[in-house]
Structure 1
Amino acid sequence: MRRYVRVFDYLLLAAILIGLFISSSQPYSQQDLRGTISKMVDEEKWGDRIGDVAIPYGGKEISVGEKGTAGFIEFFLRKGTHFSVFALLAFSWFRVISHHASFAVALPWSAFASVMTAVFDEWHQTFSPDRAGLVADVLLDTFGSVTMLLIITLIYIFPRKR
């Protein structure tokens, strides 16, 4: 059974890395969710609710006024995906590295591998049409990775009592 778990860990890591590469290779027009969001959400109602919210991100203001309601919602979906995927990536790196190293070695190497993946992912985006690599996205990805590694650390430090 343990052998199958290892294979699954490697496959999960490979799937995430391949998914990131494919996603970073696509132009924004292939990933644009605004049309779908517009069909699913009453933009006027949501625009009234969140119209006053403005968030600085990557040197720009993110607001309903700047992006429209669907664009504003899409921003949060995309950034939530960044955070979640890199949290899963950190978990996956940790699982794979921990097959070969102790917890004390696997944890920092997982962090390093996750951050380097974020850097290369953003760099790779600079070669895709209508895409840009943002330092803010690397920081967000790093925050997702660190959050997961902190959860792993807490689980390791405070094992369940039986």
Structure 2
Amino acid sequence: MRRYVKVMDYLLLAAILIGLFISSSQPYYKQDLRGTISNMVDGDTWGDRIGDVSIPYGGKEISVEEKGIAGFIEFFLRKGTHFLVFALLAFAWFRVYSHHLSFAVALPWSAFSSVMTAALDEWHQTFSPDRAGMVADVLLDASGSVTMLLIITLIYRYSRQK
């Protein structure tokens, strides 16, 4: 059973890394969700609810006025996906490292590997049409990774106390 779990951990890590590579290779228009969102969301209702909300991100102002309602919602979907994927990636790195290293060593290596993957992912995007690598995205990805590693640490400490 232990060998099966180990193989599954490696497969999860490989799947995430391959998914990131494929996603970073695609031009923006292949990932554009604005049309789908426009069909699903009543722009007037959401526009009234969101109103004048404006968020600075990566040196730009993100708002309904700037991006439209579909673009504004898509921004949060894309950034939420960044956060969650890199949280899952940190978990996968930790699982793989923990097969070979102690908790105290696997944890920082997982953080390092996740942040390096984020930086390389953003760099890779610079070679894709209509895509740009952003430091803000690396920081967002790192926050997802750190959040997951904090959760892992809390669970580890809690389980050691019992």
**TM-score, length-normalised on structure 2?**
0.98
Number of corresponding residues? 162
Q: Give 2:84's aligned residue.
A: 84
Indicate the SS of the match to 1:159.
Answer: helix
Q: CA RMSD in A?
A: 1.0
Distance 1:63 1:124 in 2: 27
Residues 10-45 of structure 1: per-residue CA shift (max 9 Å, x gap): 000000000000000000000000000000100111
C-alpha displacement of 1:74: 0.1
Which residues in structure 2 correspond to 1:42-53 (within 5 Å)?
42-53=42-53
Q: Give 2:151's aligned residue.
A: 151
Q: Give 1:104's aligned residue.
A: 104
Distance 1:160 1:81 in 2: 32
Structure 2, gaps ≥5 residues long: none
C-alpha displacement of 1:64: 0.2
Indicate the SS of the match to 1:158.
Answer: helix
Structure 1, gaps ≥5 residues long: none
Distance 2:28 2:48 in 1: 27
Residues 91-150 of structure 1: per-residue CA shift (max 9 Å, x gap): 000000000000000000000000000000000000000000000000000000000000
Indicate the SS of the match to 1:55.
Answer: strand
The answer to whether residue 18 in structure 2 is matched with residue 27 in structure 1 is no
Indicate the SS of the match to 1:56.
Answer: strand
Distance 1:32 1:44 in 2: 21
**TM-score, length-normalised on structure 1?**
0.98
Q: Give 1:135's aligned residue.
A: 135
C-alpha displacement of 1:160: 7.5
Indicate the SS of the match to 2:105.
Answer: helix
Q: Give 1:58's aligned residue.
A: 58
- Structure 1 segments (4+ residues) deviating >6 Å: none
Of all paired residues, the percent bearing the same amino acid is: 84
Indicate the SS of the match to 1:95.
Answer: helix
Q: What amino acid is the match of 2:49? A: R
